[in-house]
Amino acid sequence: MSETATPLGVKWGAEEITDVVRVYHSALRSLVARRVAELGGDWTALVFDRQFDLLSEKDTEQIERDLLDTGYRFPFSAEISLREQPDKYKRPDVAAADAGGLGEVDGRFVVALGDNVSQGTGSVSGKVTFVSSPEAVIDLLTEGVPDNTVAVIDDSGGTLTAPILDQFKAVICLGGTVRSHLGILTREYGIPCLMNAAIGDLSEGDEVEIEATAPVPSQEEYSAGQVVRARVWRVQ
């Protein structure tokens, strides 16, 4: 093993960095320990021959239900998550209502907050267009993307808007993190982008200014919940 290699077991013995992962791991450890005691026998035989007795799909579904029963809802990274399983995910309007810093601040109206993907040298202005469906992308492909378009997107995967992504002046995404696919793509294209955004009084056609100079969140800041949120102001 090289001097820089991670010793075996350190990764799995380390403390979880988020509460949700900690809840899942704790529940799984307790369940597996209980099943091992109940089933008896050799660990290897249990894992390879009776793995579904040790841990089943129903078990993992129950762990998720127990978490959701506490009132917790997952942040969404794709609009399809909200459509198919709306009871499991935070809705954008709820996230916006819970977000501090929206509304009038120091004489300017903040209409959105998000995690800045790539720190720029100045703020960026443009006109808001909501891009939430394949039909909207097809319309923009057919008619052309207007100059200075700031796209507001639900899905952090980046696939939906890939054909026209390079034509946006900036992007505001309601899901994901700065390390999501869309964040990576916009960084490569040099397009200012805010991820995990909460939006307030923001409408189609609004002229906005994006605080592209805000710090880029680090993994440590994400884990500690100390992310500095970039602001989006309505241009009067």
Domain residue spans of the chain: 10-72, 92-234
Q: Is the pLDDT of residue 13 over 70?
A: no
- C-alpha span between 113 and 214 (Å, rounded): 11
pLDDT on residue 179? 84
pLDDT on residue 14? 61
Distances (CA, A) of 62 to 19, 65, 67, 115: 18, 5, 9, 32
Residue 80: which of 154, 151, 153 has the closest Cα?
A: 154
Highest mean pLDDT among 83-87, 99-103, 108-112: 108-112
pLDDT in tens, 29-40: 899 889 998 988
DSSP string, 102-168: -EEETTEEEEEEEEESS--SS-EEEEEEEE-SHHHHHHHHHH-PPTTEEEEES-TTSTTTTTTGGG-
Q: Is the separation of the CB atoms in 178 and 117 below 8 Å? A: yes
Percent of the chain with pLDDT over 70: 83
Q: Which CATH number fits domain 92-234: 3.40.50.300, 3.30.2020.30, 3.20.20.120, 3.50.30.10?
A: 3.50.30.10
Q: Is the pLDDT of residue 193 over 60?
A: yes
Q: Report residue 76: phi and psi, to 5°.
A: -95, 150
- C-alpha span between 123 and 133 (Å, rounded): 28
Q: Report residue 183: phi and psi, to 5°.
A: -60, -40
CA-derived radius of gyration, the chain: 22
Q: Is the pLDDT of residue 77 over 70?
A: no
pLDDT on residue 44? 86
Mean pLDDT of 150-163: 84
Mean pLDDT of 174-191: 88
Q: Report residue 130: phi and psi, to 5°.
A: -85, 125
- C-alpha span between 168 and 145 (Å, rounded): 7
**Lowest-confidence segment of 71-85, 120-134, 155-169 by average pLDDT:** 71-85
**Lowest-confidence segment of 52-66, 81-95, 131-145, 206-220 by average pLDDT:** 81-95
Q: Is the pLDDT of residue 7 over 60?
A: no
Mean pLDDT of 88-94: 67
Mean pLDDT of the chain: 82
pLDDT on residue 99? 55
Q: Report residue 118: phi and psi, to 5°.
A: -145, 125
Q: Residue 16 carries which DSSP code?
A: P
Q: Which helix (H) or strand (E) holds 215?
A: none
Q: Does pTM top 0.85 for this prediction?
A: no
pLDDT on residue 4? 43
CB under 8 Å to 189, separation ≥6 — which residues?
165, 166
pLDDT on residue 17? 59
Mean pLDDT of 131-138: 87
Q: Which residue has the higher pLDDT, 143 or 121?
A: 143
Q: How confident is the model at residue 109 (pLDDT cuts 50, 70, 90)?
A: confident
Residue 149 structure tokens:
């378009």
- C-alpha span between 6 and 4 (Å, rounded): 7
Q: Which residue has the higher pLDDT, 81 or 197?
A: 197
